[in-house]
Amino acid sequence: MVNGSAHDGDTVLTVRPELADEELNELFSASWPDHSPTAFAPLLARSLLWIAAHRDGRLVGFVNVVGDGGLHAFILDTTVHPDERRQGLGVRLVRAAADEAKAYGAEWLHVDYEPHLESFYGQCGFRPTAAGLMRL
C-alpha cells in the first residue's frame, strides 16, 4: 500500500491523504471525550506519514507516524470511530502504518499505550518493553 490506497469491503485506507481539520476533529471528538478542537496541519507537517480510513466518504479511522529522521518511528493518535470498533480496523491501520514506516526507512517502530491496550497492540505485532516516561 505504499503511497496509495487499500480496500477492504467498504473501508478504504489511504496513506498521507489531505484531511480537513473539521473531519479530524469530528473523529477525535467522537472517539476521545476530552478532545478540544485542534489545528492538525502543523502536526501533520512534522509527521513521517499518516493513514486514514474512510467508509462511505466518512473518516472512521486514523493513525499518525512520526520519525526521528533516522531508524526510529513512533505511532501516535491511533483512533477508530466508536461505531467502527472491534471489527479489526484499528489493527489494519497500525499494521499498514508499520508497513509504510518500513518503506520510509524506519527499522524500529515504537508505541506508548495504557495497560488495557496491551492486547490490541500485541495483535498489531508489538511486544512489551521497558521504557521511561517523564511528564513535562
Query: Domains in the chain and their CATH numbers?
Result: 5-123 (3.40.630.30)
Q: What is the mean pLDDT of residues 108-119?
A: 95
Tell me the mean pLDDT in the region 48-62. 97
Report the run of H or E that residue 78 belongs to, with start and end. strand 72-80
Are the beta carbons of 71 and 108 closer than 8 angstroms?
yes
* Beta strands at 108-110 and 72-80: parallel, antiparallel or unpaired: parallel
Statement: residue 5 has pLDDT above 90: no
Q: SS3 of 15, please? A: strand
Average pLDDT, the chain: 93
Whether the predicted pLDDT of 1 surpasses 60:
no
Sign of CA dihedral 118, 53, 104, 49: negative
Residue 9 pLDDT > 70: no
Residue for cell digits 489531505? 18
pLDDT (average), residues 54-75 = 96
pTM of this prediction?
0.91
The span from the CA of 73 to the CA of 87, in Å, is: 26
Identify the pLDDT of residue 131. Answer: 87
Q: Whose CA is closest to 89, among 63, 115, 125, 128?
A: 63
CA angle 120, 78, 122 (to 5 degrees): 20
Express each pLDDT in 10-51 by its tens digit: 899 999 999 999 999 999 999 999 999 999 999 999 999 999
Share of the chain above pLDDT 70, in %: 93
